[in-house]
Chain A
């Protein structure tokens, strides 16, 4: 076991864990931040997406020992993020969510896309969110919500 200093949503945190522990479990089990979801554990579904050093990252495959001093931003910080807030509002207005399990990962990817591409095309959305799976099949509403958020941001 080792102790790792993490910066999560702007706050300094300490986690004592095996170096190979995925960041997802450090967040959920050690820091009790359960907004980030466990889906597949092999980076195949996107439910565990957080922003690591500004890069949307699958936290289920990144060992806590490889995080270093890169800041971590999770779904819990999106309400205070200027783009995250607009995306969450668009999610509500477009009634995107069905079961909701994958949606924190979907929103983290959507925010990452809009930070880089303010007016995404259908292709941009399909490519960027192509790794975020939704078993309820809410893809069309996700696409619509991203476009709604993009309109409100520009």
Chain B
């Protein structure tokens, strides 16, 4: 039978190695968390590059009207937001925009064409695009985004209206509208990676 005096050094050694192991694991977890957050933030910047593109942000305005064109000018023809973001009774979005692009007339269109609600504005009152952190905070705030969690945000990015940004059709002079800086597959990969990383937002 071992005497207690002989056990003590082993116990101390055991405790020291255990604590060292826990500390190392903690450090590793922290490093992994940092790395995951960093990856998530990188993915977010890709998402933001799409969201701040005219094909997307022109309908995420802060005012009473949508915008048009790569210069994001106020929508012509006195178009206004209306109570549900679909225009007003005799001048609705659907007065011109159909369920698909009309390349023969230059009219863009997709299913469910409408303005994003004011709670999802990505611009300030002077039409200046909000910084990445502000847009991220808006997109992740379920009180503002219609109660969407990560999975629902992924689903939102798969709607026809979002996909339209990569197939925006032709202008009435026959030239092609510009598209976001990354392709749709890259956008969806970035969205999934960002959601998996816990939807981190830049400071």
Contact = CB atoms under 8 A, between A and B. Distances in A.
Interface of A: 18-22, 41-44, 46, 49, 55-58, 60-63, 66, 109-110, 112-113, 115-117, 124, 127-132
Interface string B94-129: 111011101111110100000000000000000000
Interface centre among B82, B88, B90 (most CB of A within 10 A): B90
Contacts of A116: 89-90
B95 A22 contact: no
Given A43-B96, A61-B96, A66-B99, A128 B105 contact: no
A16 B89 CA distance: 32
Given A56-B91, A62-B98, A132-B90, 5 more contacts: A43-B96, A56-B89, A66-B100, A124-B88, A129-B91
26 contacts: A20-B105, A22-B104, A44-B76, A49-B95, A55-B94, A56-B90, A56-B91, A56-B92, A56-B95, A57-B95, A61-B107, A62-B96, A62-B105, A62-B107, A63-B102, A63-B104, A66-B98, A66-B99, A66-B109, A109-B90, A117-B89, A124-B88, A128-B91, A130-B77, A131-B78, A131-B95
Nearest to B82: A127
Secondary structure at the B interface, as helix, strand, loop or mixed, is loop
A61 B91 contact: no
Contacts of A22: 104-105
A113 B89 contact: yes
A60 B92 contact: no
Contacts of A41: 105
Contacts of A112: 89-90
Contact of A42 (B91, B98, B106): B106
A56 B88 CA distance: 10
Given A113-B89, A115-B89, A128-B89, A61 B80 contact: no
A77 B79 CA distance: 27
Nearest to A130: B78
B172 interface: yes
A23 B90 CA distance: 18
Nearest to A53: B94
Contacts of B95: 43, 49, 55-58, 131
A81 B120 CA distance: 40
Contacts of B92: 55-56
A48 B88 CA distance: 18
A44 B172 CA distance: 13
B105 A61 contact: yes
A56 B95 CA distance: 6
A30 to B, nearest CB: 16
Contact of A110 (B77, B88, B90, B104): B90
